[in-house]
Amino acid sequence: MAETGPHLIEMDAWIGCAPFERLLGMTIVEAADGRALLTMPFHRDLAQGAGLMHGGALVSLADTAVVMAIKSLLAPATHFATIAMESRFLYPVTQGVVIARAEIFEREGRLLRGRATVTNAEQRAVLEFSSTFKIARDSVIRGATFKDLAPGPAA
């Protein structure tokens, strides 16, 4: 039986895919200045029973795109989490690669609000997504390390 946690996670970079995101096949194309662009291919393992891309996979892509947009604004290793989200499914996905474009449109104290649009290969919107994130008071992320933030050799 697989270990159920807690797990220590080593990530390649602050703006990088976590294990779940890699499992779904997400790629971060860019993340800068409060915006992000991610892609994810539709493969058989992401299908629901009718052969469409599972809504949870689409929402995961949109949520992750907003996260990467946030990470482009915050100091590395800042701890924050999704506290609310809303999704509107617009069109089914049956093949190809989906693209999520996200932006942060509001920051008020420890709250950040973002939105994302996921489109199919024909650039048709398939999902509209909005979310709210909160920066933790205790900004230490426990159980995760980032290779690009590791201390360098002593001089």
Q: Between 9 and 88, where is the model more confident?
A: 88
CATH superfamily membership of 9-140: Hotdog Thioesterase (3.10.129.10)
Query: Higher model confidence: residue 126 or residue 151?
Result: 126
pLDDT tens string 61-87: 999 999 999 999 999 989 999 999 999
> If phi over 0 gives left and psi between -120 and 50 gives alpha, with beta otherwise, what is residue 68?
alpha
> What is the C-alpha to C-alpha distance for residues 77 and 81, in angstroms, rounded to an integer?
12
Nearest CA to 65 out of 134, 146, 126, 131 is that of 131
Whether 2 has a pLDDT exceeding 80, the answer reads no
Residue 154's pLDDT is what? 41
Strands across the sheet containing 97-108: 27-32, 35-41, 97-108, 111-119, 125-135, 80-89
Digit-coded pLDDT (tens) for 101-146: 999 999 999 999 999 999 999 999 999 999 999 999 876 666 677 8
For the chain, the domains span: 9-140
User: What is residue 149's predicted lDDT score, i.e. its pLDDT?
Assistant: 78
What's the mean per-residue pLDDT of the chain?
92
* Biggest alpha carbon–alpha carbon distance for the chain: 59
Confidence of residue 150 (pLDDT cuts 50, 70, 90): low
Q: Reply yes or no on whether the pLDDT at 155 is more than 70.
A: no
The whole-number average pLDDT for the span 5-22 is 90
Give the CA radius of gyration of the chain. Answer: 16
CA distance 87 to 130: 7
- Residue bearing the bigger pLDDT, 120 or 8: 120
